Copies of this chain bind each other. A is one copy, B any other.
Amino acid sequence: MAEHTIKAFDEEIDRLRGLIAEMGGRAEAAIESAMIALQRQDLALAAQVVADDKRIDAIEAEVEKLVIQVIALRAPMANDLRDVIAALKIVGVVERIGDYAKNIAKRVPLIMVNQRTLEPVSLLPSMGQVASEMVHDALNAFAARDPDLAVAVVERDTVVDDFYNSVFRTLVTYMVENPKTISECAHLLFIAKNIERIGDHATNVAEMVYYAATGQTLPDRDRGGAAAEE
């Protein structure tokens, strides 16, 4: 590329990375706010999380447009092209993470019983915390192209899976003993599952970062979830 093209390309890549960082920050904030809304039964905050998800979707659309523009105008070579396509994949994953946070927030109004009677709720914020940190670190690993940080994210996924299995068992026991709370507990089950999926997606991002940085894939892990719930 000519020098001015390289400069323009670098600027566009910086903008791309800036948008991804913003999107990641918003997804993290969405997870945290959704968990606070759940704990405090804060319907206004829950509604805010749902509304804010539109901005995450809008950033994804902006990244797509920018990627197409970069490819069309700069015709990046193999490695740069792969980076740009990877950015597209990563925003797709972050958009899904935002959706999971939104789905959690949407369930808050459906859990209207007095939560002090719903013990399993107390496990969820810590679980959400771990998942949200995984998202944070996965995007930092992406920004810094740091394979070690990526590995640390992947390893933490078992913590989220263990939480999930524990919440699942606790909720089932609780439902058996308190049949009146079954509907609320079903929503809590889905919330736990959404957090578990957020962990999976942070792991996906980390795996992509690791592959981009090292050219190696991490050994295949079985994603926690269905098979582990007994």
Chain A residues within 8 Å of B, Cβ to Cβ: 64, 67-68, 71-72, 75, 77-78, 81-82, 85, 88-89, 92, 103, 106-107, 110, 168, 171-172, 175-176, 179-180, 182-183, 186-187, 189-190, 193, 225-227, 229-230
A150 to chain B, nearest CB (A): 19
Closest to A200 in B: B99
Q: Which residues of the partner chain B approach A92 to less than 8 Å between Cβ atoms?
A: 89, 92
Q: Which residues of B contact A189 (CB under 8 A)?
A: 186, 189-190
Task: From B67, B78, B168, B183, give the contact of A186 (CB < 8 A).
Answer: B168
B187/A182 in contact, CB under 8 A: no
A187→B229 contact, CB < 8 A: yes
Prevailing SS type, chain A contact patch: helix
Contact A81 B85 (CB under 8 A): no
A191 to chain B, nearest CB (A): 9
In the complex where A64-B85, A92-B92, A225-B103 touch, is A172 in contact with B186 (Cβ < 8 A)?
Answer: yes
Given known A182-B172, A227-B106, contact A68–B81 (CB-CB < 8 A): yes
